[in-house]
């Protein structure tokens, strides 16, 4: 199937095909949704390896069998994407009509609903409203400082740390978050506020690759960015978090207490708030699995296994084997 002398790559594909054979055995007993998810994992794994090879080898070294290309794995769809020149439009806002959620197979945009309960959100808001706020640019990098206009709680204030720790406690007790992020280190959460009266917004930017916290000495590579919404959508107009990736633009505005995880490598922005006030927490994390495609596949595989466990039981032999594959894939990719 693969020509060229790339033993590691060939091994990786052989591994995937072996897993696929196992996955195919599930076609008989599983629902269409689960089959679809498992198939997506399979093709996505090939995809992920293809992409990582793409980054270190020239395309000419790899020659795929045409049959593989027919299954949807191809180089073409990456180059076919029209990027709309957003990177050149630093500081510009996205027009409203860029709202299509073209979720890619490997794009890691995960929403976690109800991370905080409504009562806890109200408590957060009460404590935050009573506190002093500062210019949000104190935590921005050189480029993002040019396009950032908002306020934030002083990052080293006791309130920020206390509320941040409450968020981290909620995160580490949330199975969906742990499965999606596979976190190694979480940066102390920060808090911001966008007021319509002051024309607050945050233009297009990319987050710093490394964040350091001088209070704790913690230093992380930012693999994932997170926004935890602390205002209800009907409290404000505008203020959408717009995330741009190779598959298009994704507009996110969630109920208070909900969190969105997205790749820190993406260009993103917060559109101007035109009514009311938007309050949120934001932070970054370093994942044990650096490669976002690998991480996304691991998440999908875990989700599919959990659904199979519900139907077949935790001690079903094939479920046990798939669980083993899940852990072995993590072992293959993990950095701790
Ligand atoms: Ni950002």
215 and 107 part of one domain: yes
Count the domains in the chain. 2
Distance of CA 207 from the midpoint of ligand 1 (Å): 5
Confirm whether 18 is domain-assigned.
yes
160 and 304 part of one domain: no
Confirm whether 2 is domain-assigned.
no
pLDDT per residue as tens digits for the range 260-307 = 999 999 999 999 999 999 999 999 999 999 999 999 999 999 999 999
Neighbours of 171 (CB within 10 A): 21
118 and 178 part of one domain: yes
pLDDT value of residue 31: 56
Distance of CA 148 from the midpoint of ligand 1 (Å): 9
Distance of CA 189 from the midpoint of ligand 1 (Å): 13
Confirm whether 243 is domain-assigned.
yes
Longest dimension (CA), the chain: 65
Pair 287, 182: CB distance under 8 Å: yes
Confirm whether 1 is domain-assigned.
no
160 and 306 part of one domain: no
236 and 110 part of one domain: yes
Q: Return the CA Rg of the chain.
A: 21
Distance of CA 267 from the midpoint of ligand 1 (Å): 8
Distance of CA 171 from the midpoint of ligand 1 (Å): 20
Confirm whether 213 is domain-assigned.
yes
163 and 213 part of one domain: yes
* pTM: predicted TM-score of the whole model, two decimal places: 0.71
Could you read off the pLDDT tens digit of each residue along the chain, which spans 336 residues? 333 344 444 444 444 544 444 444 444 444 556 555 665 666 666 555 544 433 333 232 233 333 332 232 222 222 222 223 332 332 233 333 333 333 344 457 999 999 999 999 999 999 999 999 998 988 888 888 888 889 999 999 999 999 999 999 999 999 999 999 999 999 999 999 999 998 898 999 999 999 999 888 999 999 999 999 999 999 999 999 999 877 788 999 999 999 999 999 999 999 999 999 999 999 999 999 999 999 999 999 999 999 999 999 999 999 999 999 999 999 999 999
56 and 176 part of one domain: no
Distance of CA 90 from the midpoint of ligand 1 (Å): 13
Distance of CA 283 from the midpoint of ligand 1 (Å): 9
* Cα–Cα distance for residue pair 7/12, rounded to 1 Å: 9
Distance of CA 88 from the midpoint of ligand 1 (Å): 17
* Cα–Cα distance for residue pair 239/256, rounded to 1 Å: 13
303 and 170 part of one domain: no
Distance of CA 15 from the midpoint of ligand 1 (Å): 37
Distance of CA 291 from the midpoint of ligand 1 (Å): 20
196 and 130 part of one domain: yes
Tell me which residues have their CB within 5 A of the ion that is ligand 1: 207
142 and 176 part of one domain: yes
216 and 326 part of one domain: no
Handedness of CA 252, 258, 263, 268 (dihedral sign): positive
72 and 182 part of one domain: no
- Go through the chain and tell me how many residues it has: 336
Q: Which range marks the domain in which residue 13 is found?
A: 7-76+292-333
Backbone angles phi, psi at 208, to 5 degrees: -55, 145
Q: What 8-state DSSP symbol labels residue 155?
A: T
CATH number of residue 241's parent domain: 2.60.120.620
* Cα–Cα distance for residue pair 233/255, rounded to 1 Å: 6
Confirm whether 156 is domain-assigned.
yes
Distance of CA 230 from the midpoint of ligand 1 (Å): 17
């Amino acid at each position: 199937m693969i020509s060229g002398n790339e033993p590691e790559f060939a091994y990786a594909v052989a591994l995937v095909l072996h897993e696929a054979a196992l996955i195919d055995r599930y076609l008989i007993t599983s629902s269409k949704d689960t089959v679809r998810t498992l198939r997506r994992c399979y093709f996505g794994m090939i995809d992920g390896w293809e992409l990582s090879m793409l980054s270190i080898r020239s395309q000419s070294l790899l020659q795929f069998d045409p049959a593989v290309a027919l299954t949807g794995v191809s180089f073409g769809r990456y180059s076919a994407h029209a990027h709309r020149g957003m990177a050149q439009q630093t500081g510009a806002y996205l027009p409203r009509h860029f709202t299509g959620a073209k979720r890619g197979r490997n794009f890691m945009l995960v929403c976690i609903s109800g991370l905080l309960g409504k009562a806890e959100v109200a408590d957060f808001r009460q404590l935050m409203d009573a506190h002093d706020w500062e210019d949000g640019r104190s935590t921005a990098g050189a480029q993002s400082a040019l396009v950032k206009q908002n306020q934030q709680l002083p990052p080293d204030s006791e309130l920020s740390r206390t509320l941040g720790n409450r968020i981290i406690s909620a995160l580490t007790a949330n199975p969906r978050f742990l499965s999606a992020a596979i976190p190694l280190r979480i940066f102390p959460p920060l808090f911001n506020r966008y007021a319509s009266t002051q024309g607050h917004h945050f233009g297009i930017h990319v987050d710093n690759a490394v964040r350091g916290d001088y209070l704790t000495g913690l230093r992380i590579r930012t693999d994932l960015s997170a926004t935890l919404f602390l205002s209800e959508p009907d409290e404000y107009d505008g203020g959408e978090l717009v995330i741009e990736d190779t598959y298009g633009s994704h507009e996110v505005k969630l109920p208070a207490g909900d969190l969105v995880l997205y790749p820190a490598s993406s260009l993103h922005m917060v559109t101007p708030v035109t009514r009311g006030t938007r309050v949120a927490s934001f932070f970054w994390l370093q994942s044990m699995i650096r490669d976002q495609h690998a991480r996304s596949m691991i998440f999908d595989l875990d989700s599919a296994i959990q659904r199979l466990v519900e139907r077949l039981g935790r001690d079903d032999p094939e479920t046990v084997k798939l669980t083993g594959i899940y852990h072995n894939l993590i072992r293959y990719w993990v950095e701790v």
